[in-house]
């Protein structure tokens, strides 16, 4: 937030891989807030397009532990949705229960969430 003045921005952690350049076209065709997933809640894994105006109203939590990150994956996004309204969900089927495999990557066992456009190597899912 301090290093940009963008009205909207995509946040993806480094455990996401864009598999198809058409992903960018999907995002370009959207407006407002866009959650990539809705599991366990909108913006699962913190992945999505966020609006600066909403974040300016609710603030950004300071996370110091993995537990806080997991808790805020729902709690902070509930605050976000209260202000922004329910976002569109780009990939509603991208959820833990639809995963069909696990792989060793990043020095850990990962649940793989993927479709034709994107893959997420999820280290915490239990």
**What are the tens digits of pLDDT across the range 30-55?**
999 999 999 999 999 999 999 999 99
Length of the chain: 126
DSSP string spanning 47-59?
A: -EEEEHHHHHHH-
Q: Give me the residues paired with residue 16 across strands.
A: 120
Mean pLDDT of 97-124: 94
For position 45, what pLDDT does the model report? 92
Mean pLDDT of 91-95: 96
Nearest Cα to Cα of residue 41 among 77, 10, 67, 15: 77
| Residue labelled with tokens 């609710």 | 58
Q: Give me the residues paired with residue 17 across strands.
A: 119
Parse the chain into domains and list their residue ranges.
8-92
Answer left, alpha or beta for residue 60, where phi above 0 means left and psi between -120 and 50 means alpha: beta
Q: Which has more pLDDT, 7 or 3? A: 7
Residue 56's pLDDT band (boundaries 50, 70, 90)?
A: very high
For position 1, what pLDDT does the model report? 79
Mean pLDDT of 66-90: 94
Q: Give the whole-angstrom CA distance, residue 116 versus residue 18.
A: 9
What is the number of helices (H) and of strands (E) in the chain? 3, 8
Q: Give the whole-angstrom CA distance, residue 64 versus residue 67.
A: 9
pTM: 0.91
């Amino acid at each position: 937030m301090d290093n940009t003045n963008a009205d909207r921005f995509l946040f993806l952690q480094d455990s996401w891989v864009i598999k198809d350049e058409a992903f960018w076209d999907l995002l370009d065709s959207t407006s407002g807030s866009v959650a990539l997933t809705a599991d366990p809640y909108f913006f699962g894994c913190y992945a999505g397009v966020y609006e600066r105006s909403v974040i300016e109203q609710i603030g950004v939590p300071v996370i110091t532990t993995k537990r806080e990150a997991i808790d805020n994956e729902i709690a902070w996004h509930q605050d976000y949705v209260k202000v922004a309204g329910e976002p569109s969900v780009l990939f509603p089927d991208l959820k833990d229960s639809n995963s069909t495999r696990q792989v060793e990557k990043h020095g850990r066992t990962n649940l793989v969430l993927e479709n034709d456009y994107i893959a997420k190597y999820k280290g915490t899912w239990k």
